[in-house]
Structure 1
Amino acid sequence: MSDDEQVAPEYPPILPMRDRAAVIDRILAERLETVIPEIMRETGTAMWIVTAREYFEDPVIATMLDAESMHARRRTILVFFDPGDGRSVERLTVSRYGLGKLFQPSWDPADEPDQWRAVADIIADRDPATIAINTSDLTAFADGLTLSQYNAMLTALPEAYRQRIVSGETLSLRWLESRSTEELAIYPGIVRLAHALIEEAFSRKVITPGETTTNDVVWWYRQQLAELGLDTWFQPSVGIQRRGATGMLEGEVVIQPGDLLWTDFGITYLRLNTDTQHLAYVLKPGETAAPEGLTRGLAASNRVQDILRASFQTGRSGNEVLALARQQALSEGLNPSIYSHPIGFHGHGAGTAIGFWDNQNGDPRGNYHIRPHTTWSIELTSHNAVPEWDGQVVDFRTEEDAFFDGSTVRFLDGRQTNLTLISSEP
């Protein structure tokens, strides 16, 4: 991890599918052994029940399936039970199919045809003080239990156990936001791969000024990912800011010399996601560098990044971090907009929000507290007048993925500090 981003990096090796599955399963086994006991004891949860039906996976259960279990089968129910006294957390599956030997099969339909009755028996045998289920008014990440499954569960449970049901909101968020040792070992390489793709997109290999449109670059991304056997979690964006033009130009707009290009691009690989925004300048004939005003604009956004990173502190809410960072940036004469978010299993990941592009004040989604061992998309912009463009105000959007260890925020594969330059000549 470093603040320095490698210029025009080569693609890291991309694993064949069998090797990918082995990595995914190894990481999942590590997470189940380490993260689950930690978060259950942190929240004082005795039992956690996660359930989903085929093709309608709870956000949590989707990350607990092994690499060969692409969906929940029929109805998949996972039960975690902490017996206390430092003993190992039990991991049970109440379903017709095993899950990569990571959960103990605990239901024989021949003995008990009713699946939810089998769950009730497991609960009665262990008598947990609390039973967490995934329901939440605030976040979709912890709201995966459907009404029909909830009703079926309640019908099977004696009244005494119904009174012990609690929300698994914090458990769900903690499971999804926590990064394991091995995830952190591979994450920088995944971000490096995304950076390499962006560098290639912003080059003469892909862009011929005067001919190539922004949509051409968007669909180059999609085609390149398909050929590499990778995926993206959102449609890539490519836009132009141009002297004398208002706003961001996108679509079938031809890229011209003198344009400031912007891209928003992310990949999904080994169940982890990236989210990056970079800027490039198309040199005019005879130019060897971008106008100084554009260079200073990117430097201003880099400064806002530093201010935001310095505002992170374990236990602070996203709203508190936003307020502190904005106060400092404004005091330095910057014109920022901050809208950063967690990243990991999901591109817009579980955890607290740090601002929104359309709301720079507090938000209920920013009340959750920042935890260590979490990964973040440091997403923001600063608006700056460019003298060489007759004082036109330009939006210097930037986004880089980073890790918070509890003390400092470090970029996973550096950050852009210099505009990528694209020659207008062959």
Structure 2
Amino acid sequence: MSDAEQAHPDLPVVLSQRDRAAVVDDILAERMETVVPAIMREQGIDMWILMAREYFEEPVVATMLDAESMSARRRTILVFYNPGEGKPVERLTVSRYGLGNLFAASWDPAKQPDQWKAVAEIIAARDPKRIAINTSDLTAFGDGMTLSQYKAMTAALPTGFEERIVPGETLSLRWLESRTPRELEIYPGIVRLAHAVIGEAFSRKVITPGKTTAEEVQWWYRDRLAGLGIDTWFHPSIGIQRQGVKGMIEGDEVIQPGDLLWTDFGITYMRLNTDTQHLAYVLKPGETEAPAGLRAGLKATNRVQDLLRQSFAVGLSGNVVLARARAKALAEGLDPSIYSHPIGFHGHGAGTAIGFWDNQKDDPRGTYAIRPNTTWSIELTSYNAVPEWGGQKVDFRSEEDAFFDGKEVHFLDGRQTELTLIPSE
């Protein structure tokens, strides 16, 4: 991890599918042995039951399948049982197909044709006091148990066990948001890969001022990732801010000298996601640097980043962190908008929100407490008048991925502190 970012980093080696699978399985085994026991004990849960159906993935189950089990098959049921007294957490799969070496196969359809009755027998034999299932009004990450599956499961339970069922919402969030040492070994390299592709996009290799359109750069991203065998979790964005033009120009607009370019770009690689927003300036003939007002605008955004990072603390809600950071920024005369979010297995990941672009006040989605060992997209902007553009207010958006260790927020692969320059000739 480093706070320093290279403007045009070399592209890291992209692993073969087989090598990627080995890394994914290694990380998953580590998570099963460390994260699952820790969060079940933390939340006081004796048994956690997860269910997914083919073509209707449960978001938590999708992250618990080994690299060769690419989706749920028919109905995949996972059961975690914490026997207490420091004993290992039992991992069972009540499914027609096995799941590598991570879960013990626990259903023989020849002996018990009813899958949910097989689950009920496991529950009755272990007699757990608190049984978590994934239901949540607030977050999709903790709402994987469908009504039909809940009815089928509870109908099979012995009398009295349904009253022991509790929501597994927090368990789901804790599983998804927690990062392990092995994940943190590879995450900076994944972000570096994304930064390297952005560096290519913001260069004469891709952009010819006066000819290339914003839309063409978007599709160049898609083709580049397809060639690398890497997925994007959203369609890349390219926007243009131009002197004398209000707002962001997109689509088939041709990029011109003097334009300030913005990109929003994210990849999915070895099950982890990136989310980055960078800025570039297209030099006019004879220019060797961007106008001072544009450079100052990025510096102001960097300052908002610093104030937000300083506002993180374990146990605070996203709403409190937002209020703290905004108060500091406004006191310094900055004009911020903060809309940061967790990142990890999902681009807009599990955990608390720290503001939204359309809501800079308290939000129900920002009530969850910040935890250590979590990763974040530090996403925000500051608005600044640019003297060289006649005082026009410009939007200096930025987004960089980071890790919160419980004390400090560290960028995974640095952050942009200088505008990328694209020659016009």
Structures share fold, TM-score greater than 0.5: yes
Q: Which residue of 2 aligns with 1:156?
A: 156
Deviation at 1:233, TM superposition (A): 0.2
Looking at structure 1, the residues matched to 132 and 7 of structure 2 have their Cα atoms a distance apart, in angstroms, of 47
Q: Map Cα deviations across residues 301-342 of structure 1 (whole Å, 9 max, x no partner).
A: 000000000000000000000000000000000000000000
Q: Which residue of 2 aligns with 1:224?
A: 224
Deviation at 1:158, TM superposition (A): 2.0
Q: Name the % identity.
A: 76
* 1:225-304 superposed matches below 5 A: 225-304=225-304
Q: Which runs of 5+ in 2 are unaligned?
A: none
Question: Which secondary structure state, in structure 1, belongs to the residue aligned with residue 160 of structure 2?
Answer: helix
Deviation at 1:6, TM superposition (A): 1.6
The residue type paired with residue 321 of structure 1 is V
* 1:145 to 2:145 alignment: yes
Instruction: Please give the root-mean-square deviation of Cα atoms over the aligned residues, in Å.
Output: 0.4
The answer to whether the 8 Å contact 2:243/2:392 transfers is yes
The residue type paired with residue 256 of structure 1 is Q
Looking at structure 2, the residues matched to 184 and 283 of structure 1 have their Cα atoms a distance apart, in angstroms, of 37
The residue type paired with residue 386 of structure 1 is V
> Runs of at least 4 residues of structure 1 off by over 6 A?
none
Looking at structure 2, the residues matched to 236 and 76 of structure 1 have their Cα atoms a distance apart, in angstroms, of 33
The residue type paired with residue 398 of structure 1 is S
The residue type paired with residue 371 of structure 1 is R
Q: Which residue of 2 aligns with 1:396?
A: 396
Looking at structure 1, the residues matched to 7 and 135 of structure 2 have their Cα atoms a distance apart, in angstroms, of 45
Question: Which secondary structure state, in structure 2, belongs to the residue aligned with residue 221 of structure 1?
Answer: helix
What is the TM-score with the length of structure 1 in the denominator? 0.99
* 1:193-212 superposed matches below 5 A: 193-212=193-212
Question: Which secondary structure state, in structure 2, belongs to the residue aligned with residue 159 of structure 1?
Answer: coil
Looking at structure 1, the residues matched to 101 and 155 of structure 2 have their Cα atoms a distance apart, in angstroms, of 30
Q: Which residue of 2 aligns with 1:417?
A: 417
Deviation at 1:237, TM superposition (A): 0.1
Looking at structure 2, the residues matched to 7 and 329 of structure 1 have their Cα atoms a distance apart, in angstroms, of 27
Deviation at 1:286, TM superposition (A): 0.2
* 1:214 to 2:249 alignment: no
The residue type paired with residue 370 of structure 1 is I
Q: Map Cα deviations across residues 31-56 of structure 1 (whole Å, 9 max, x no partner).
A: 00000000000000000000010111
* 1:6 to 2:11 alignment: no
* 1:128 to 2:167 alignment: no
Question: Which secondary structure state, in structure 1, belongs to the residue aligned with residue 233 of structure 2?
Answer: coil
Deviation at 1:80, TM superposition (A): 0.1
Deviation at 1:215, TM superposition (A): 0.4
Looking at structure 1, the residues matched to 325 and 401 of structure 2 have their Cα atoms a distance apart, in angstroms, of 18
Looking at structure 2, the residues matched to 87 and 108 of structure 1 have their Cα atoms a distance apart, in angstroms, of 26
Q: Which residue of 2 aligns with 1:333?
A: 333
Deviation at 1:101, TM superposition (A): 1.1
Deviation at 1:240, TM superposition (A): 0.1
Deviation at 1:7, TM superposition (A): 2.4
Q: Map Cα deviations across residues 107-162 of structure 1 (whole Å, 9 max, x no partner).
A: 00011000000000000000000000000000000001111101100110123100
Q: Which residue of 2 aligns with 1:365?
A: 365
Q: Which residue of 1 aligns with 2:100?
A: 100
Q: Map Cα deviations across residues 268-309 of structure 1 (whole Å, 9 max, x no partner).
A: 000000000000000000000000000000000000000000
Looking at structure 2, the residues matched to 144 and 85 of structure 1 have their Cα atoms a distance apart, in angstroms, of 29
Q: Map Cα deviations across residues 55-103 of structure 1 (whole Å, 9 max, x no partner).
A: 1110000000000001101000000000000000000000011101100
Q: Which runs of 5+ in 1 are unaligned?
A: none
The residue type paired with residue 412 of structure 1 is L
The answer to whether the 8 Å contact 2:177/2:374 transfers is yes
* 1:68 to 2:68 alignment: yes
Looking at structure 1, the residues matched to 216 and 156 of structure 2 have their Cα atoms a distance apart, in angstroms, of 56
Question: Which secondary structure state, in structure 1, belongs to the residue aligned with residue 161 of structure 2?
Answer: helix
Looking at structure 2, the residues matched to 146 and 129 of structure 1 have their Cα atoms a distance apart, in angstroms, of 22
Q: Which residue of 2 aligns with 1:89?
A: 89
Deviation at 1:2, TM superposition (A): 1.2
* 1:36 to 2:33 alignment: no
Q: Which residue of 1 aligns with 2:176?
A: 176
The answer to whether the 8 Å contact 2:79/2:92 transfers is yes
Deviation at 1:382, TM superposition (A): 0.1
Aligned residue pairs: how many?
425
The residue type paired with residue 49 of structure 1 is I
Q: Map Cα deviations across residues 13-36 of structure 1 (whole Å, 9 max, x no partner).
A: 100000001000000000000000
What is the TM-score with the length of structure 2 in the denominator? 1.00
Looking at structure 1, the residues matched to 227 and 325 of structure 2 have their Cα atoms a distance apart, in angstroms, of 41
The answer to whether the 8 Å contact 2:242/2:259 transfers is yes
